[in-house]
Every structure is written in C-alpha cells, then in structure tokens.
A and B are shown apart, each in its own frame.
Chain A
C-alpha cells in the first residue's frame, strides 16, 4: 500500500532520515520503534508531506506522493496524528472532530463516522461541548485519534499515542487501535517509544537507529530478538 524507497529527509543541513526503505501492506499494523531522536517523527512527517523528503520516493498505491502538498496527501487517504496530539485548544471537542472532516463533503457519512468515534470513546460524547484544551492528556489523545479518523483515512499514521499516558489508558488506546484496524480495515503505521506494547499489537516492525533502518521482521520475531530485547524492551 505504502512504499518508501531510499527516502532521505533534512532539516536545513541536518540529515534526520537516511535512505530509508520501508513497506506497508494493506490492512496490517506496522510499527516503527527507535530511541529519542532516531528520526521516527521525521519519517512520518515525510510521508504526510509536512516535512517533504529531499531524496527518494514515496509511493502510495503505486502512485508517487513525495512532493505533493500535505492537503493533497490527506485527500488521498493518509492522515496523521501528530506527536504531542496538537488538538485545537479553543475549539470544542465536537468542532475539533469536525475539523478532521474538513476535506469531506459527504455530510451523512461524516455524521455516521462521528457516531462511530463517539462509540469508540464515549467520554468524548460527554465532553463534546467543552474546549479541547480542557481535556486531560489521555482524553486529548483520544480526541486526536478520533479527529484523524473523521478524515476516514485508509492509512493512519500514529505518532507516539502512549506519550505521557498512564499504563491503563495506554492499553485502552492500543486496544482501540486494534479495533479500528479490524472494524474499519484501516492500515496503521504506529510510531512508538513503548516498544513492548507496540510489538504486541503490530504485525511487523521496523527498528530505526540514528536515521537508518537497522532491522525489520515480524513483530513476534523482533520481540524474541536478543538485541531488540536489550535495547528497547529492557529485558
């Protein structure tokens, strides 16, 4: 579904991502794990076009999307939940969700999707008239995921959904990520620090070290790998 070929991305002269090759198949959950500053966020930003790559190709369903503007890429069905949530603090929860459907014109379907995300996260329905900035961190993460779902993406890019959340809330969110993948058949690209949980929900995983992919395998195989265990699982 998505293919990255020798993608390199820079911030000015600093190269954050080096010649990355990566594939995502239809309907799977893949995860990209790595230490702080490895370039995980940058990889996602390159895919969504917010920080376009300098070299290399990104193909979505065989069609090159590198060089397209972010809004065109969203229109093609790739939606990102940015790191640190980035909800609109002064807009209400309902308005935040509505912004997610900004590019859509099918009001009926949008209303259906709204019901769906409210059923995933009932707390959001309760809070729908409150400003997004008043939500707790976990609720904001739920809102950020829901907002992205409102765009009805075929590929959902999630950047550290567990950041700053209590273990219980994290597990709940990962459960729902799996549910979205199953029920909506949404392909999911998950970036995580919490390698343990990420490798449990994912089908396949990639390991990123200082801008390079150093390993990729089935998730259970990575979990069994001695190097990965030592570096990322704390075993």
Chain B
C-alpha cells in the first residue's frame, strides 16, 4: 500500500511542478494594457494535479512490483503482455482487424476533406516508420538522416516533372530506386561505423542533402522551392480537389498495405535473419559466412526505398516542395515512431505513427499546450513502457527437424 513517505514525496513533487510551471501557468503579461495578470488558481490546479498523478503512478508501481515478486515466488502465473495476448489470439484480433479495415475504408466518406488530409499524412508516416524500422529496428543501424531519402523522392518527382514532364506513376518507382541508390551511397562510407559514430555521420548526411537543396539554386530553385507539381493522375480523368484527395487517400491505403506485405516478407526472409543476426553480433555473423557489407547495404537501400516513394507521394500531395520540409526534426519524428512502436515490431510502428501524427493534430484545441502535452506523452511512454507500445514480438522461425 501507499506509505506515509509516498505522500511526503508527492508533496515535494507537487511543489516542484508548481515552481517549474510558475512562469508559464501563472504569469500572464498583457503587453497592450501593460499589466500582468497573476493566475494563482492555475498553480493550485498544477499542484493538486501533480500530487494525484504522482500518487497514482506510485500505486501502480507498487502493484506491479508486488506482482513481480509473487511471480518470482511462483505464487502467480506470469501473464503474457496485453499486446501479445491480443496479437496471438485470432478471435480477438480478427474482429479488431475487420473493424479497423472498415473504419479506414469508410474514412473519406465519414469525415471531412480536412480530416482525410490529416489521415493521409499519418499514413505516409506509417510507411516512413516501417521503412526506417528496417534500418534501425531490424538491422540495428541508428540512422538519423532518414529524411534525406524522403527529400530525394520528393525532389525526384518535382524536378523530373518540371524538366521532363514525367508523371506521378512513372516517377514513383524511379523515386524509390533513386533513394535506394542514395542509401547505398550513404552505406559505403559508414560500413565500418557503429552506434554513436554511425548516428553522427547519418545526421550529417541528412543535413548535407538539405543544404544542397537549399543552396544550389540552379538545380533545386533554392529555399523558394518548386511549385505547381501535379497531383497523381487516374487514367487522365479530371478530378476536383475533393476527389483527388479521396483518391490520394485510397492510394496511400494501398501503399501502406503493400509496405506491410513486403516488410513482413523481408523480415522473415534469409536477408531478414541476417539483419537480425548482424544487430546481435558482427563477429559471429562473419564467422557464419554472412556477407557483412552486402547485408548492411541492402538494409540501407531497402529502408531508403520507402522514404523515396513516400517522398514522391508527398510532393504530389502538397503540389509544392521546398527544403524546409526536410529538416532534422522530420528524421527525429520518424525515429520516435520506430522507438515508440517497439523496435522491429510492425504493428507497434503502425500504431505509433498514427498516435504520434494524429495526436498533435487533434490537440490543436489546446493550441499553445499541444507541444507540451506531446512531449509529456513521449516522456511518460519512455518511463512506463521503454520497450515500446508493442514489445518486439519477433516471429521465431521454425527450424526443420529431421
């Protein structure tokens, strides 16, 4: 049970938060009337709120520790994690899946164009997350410059369309291939690097691509970007704005399904096992005859491909690209999706992408606090579920026995 000490701690925490949020929550400067309003009542709310939050989290912690102790003593069965129970029980996940599918299919009919647009963005991040998941989650190569491949795809469509009039469907595979090529280009110099060093070099790579786009005016039109990029066509039929957004939505749904299919196949293939093994132990991999170079390069290339294709879709969706869309923040968000989802877990990445992209959009109601809430959600996640939403449930592959 909660002890006296916990209440004492809760008071300290409450005081601390009251001090910490004082400038933000209490003082309000009105520059026009030149007066300061002191909103003391807010301080009370913060104090009471953080006091209760702390007690609740303590209670939960005590409950969990007690259960772990009972499990260790053998008095209680170890429960499978909830996510795993859901994912492994067809009678639970089939209806869930069906409901989800129905919801996503009916989405443009049920909601406004504005909502559909947001959902398209979220779906794009699902694909980006799944792509980066190959590199970071499965192969364990910390890539902080993933947005570069996204930029390659977007500019591929913008420029090829501008100069050669190539259409969306032609450029979609070209964008993917081009990004894969860039993935290999990045892969070669970083083959020997691991961990922090790899992270720094990939970060630099992402910035280089952005700076080139920003400064090489003749090539990329600089910071002002390229506009009037055509939306995806559908057998040359003229579409209104609403129709073309709905069309893009379904296109994106198709893209997500395609990605899930391919990524799932990849993870369970020979190369997928090699990636996984490489993440665990490089020397052992070499001793087993796994080609380290090729394995890493394919991870970079196959991860980048998705970013390239989504980049093309991005350019087609916004009909405008400029370097400002491809900052490090984008890479960070995509990385958040992978980490939050649970490294290597496809379902986790999908959920994380939807939450992470939709949450800030729907928190707009709280306008100025939405980034604060967003940050708080991230911190809370990392404290309570550091293994991600869906703890990596790697499919252990069956080994044939004679």
Q: Which residues of A pack against B, CB within 8 Å?
A: 48-50, 69-71, 73-75, 79-82, 86-92, 94-95, 97-100, 102-103, 107-108, 110-112, 114-115, 128-129, 147-148, 151
Question: Is the Cβ of A108 less than 8 Å from the Cβ of B402?
Answer: yes
Q: Is A94 a contact partner of B399 (Cβ separation < 8 A)?
A: yes
Are A95 and B287 closer than 8 Å at their CB atoms? Answer: no
Measured in the bound complex, the distance between the Cα atoms of B285 and A82 in whole Å is 11
B289 contact from A70, A82, A89, Cβ within 8 A: A70
Closest CB of chain B to A152's CB: distance in Å? 11
Sample (26) of A-B pairs whose CB atoms are under 8 Å apart: A70-B289, A71-B290, A71-B291, A71-B292, A74-B287, A74-B289, A80-B287, A82-B284, A88-B281, A90-B276, A90-B394, A94-B399, A95-B273, A95-B397, A99-B288, A99-B290, A103-B289, A111-B400, A111-B401, A111-B402, A112-B402, A114-B399, A129-B396, A147-B288, A151-B288, A151-B289
Contact across chains for A75 and B289 when beta carbons are under 8 A apart: yes
Could you say which residues of chain A place their CB within 8 Å of the CB of B273? 95, 98-99, 102
Give the docked Cα–Cα distance between A147 and B288 (Å): 8
The answer to whether A90 touches B280 (Cβ under 8 A) is: yes
Q: How far is the CA of A179 from the CA of B242 in the complex (A)?
A: 75
Residues on B lying within 8 angstroms of A by beta carbon are 270, 273-274, 276-277, 280-281, 283-284, 286-293, 394, 396-397, 399-402
Are A88 and B400 interface neighbours, CB within 8 A?
no
Given the interface contacts A50-B283, A82-B283, A91-B276, does A102 sit within 8 Å of B396 by beta carbon? no
Contact partner of B281 (CB less than 8 A), chosen from A81, A86, A110, is A86
B280 close to A102 (CB less than 8 A): no
Q: Taking each of B276, B280, B394, which has the highest tally of chain A beta carbons within 10 Å of its own beta carbon?
A: B280
A94, B396: Cα distance in complex, Å = 9
Enumerate chain A residues within 8 angstroms of B289, measured Cβ to Cβ: 70-71, 73-75, 79, 102-103, 151
What 10 additional pairs, Cβ within 8 angstroms, besides A50-B283, A92-B396, A95-B399? A70-B287, A70-B292, A74-B287, A79-B289, A82-B287, A86-B283, A95-B396, A102-B289, A102-B290, A151-B288
Q: From residue B97, how far is it (CB to closest CB) to chain A in Å?
A: 28
Cα-based distance from A48 to B286 in the complex (angstroms): 9
Give min CB distance, A189 to chain B, whole Å: 14
- Please pick, from A69, A87, A103, A128, the residue contacting B284 in the complex, using a CB distance under 8 A: A87
Question: Once bound together, how far apart are the Cα atoms of A86 and B273, in whole Å?
Answer: 16
Chain B residue at minimal CB-CB distance from A110:
B400
7 pairs of A and B residues whose beta carbons are closest in the complex: A74-B289, A111-B402, A86-B284, A70-B286, A94-B399, A71-B291, A88-B280
User: Which residues of A have CB within 8 Å of B402?
Assistant: 108, 111-112, 114-115
Q: CB < 8 Å: which of B277, B280, B288, B293 contacts A74?
A: B288
Which A residues are in CB contact (< 8 Å) with B283?
50, 82, 86
Q: Are A97 and B284 in contact (CB under 8 A)?
A: no
Q: Are B290 and A97 closer than 8 Å at their CB atoms?
A: no
Min CB gap B297→A, angstroms: 14
Q: How far is the CA of A1 from the CA of B273 in the complex (A)?
A: 32
CA distance A92 to B397 in the complex (A): 9
In the complex, what distance in Å separates the CA atom of A79 from the CA atom of B273? 19
Distance to closest chain A CB from B360 (angstroms): 34
Distance of A65 from chain B, by nearest CB (Å): 13
Q: Determine whether the beta carbon of A88 is less than 8 Å from that of B291.
A: no
Q: How far is the CB of B284 from chain A (nearest CB, A)?
A: 4
Contacts of A115 in B (CB 8 A): 401-402
Q: Are A89 and B280 within 8 A (Cβ)?
A: yes
CB distance from B373 to the nearest CB of A (A): 35
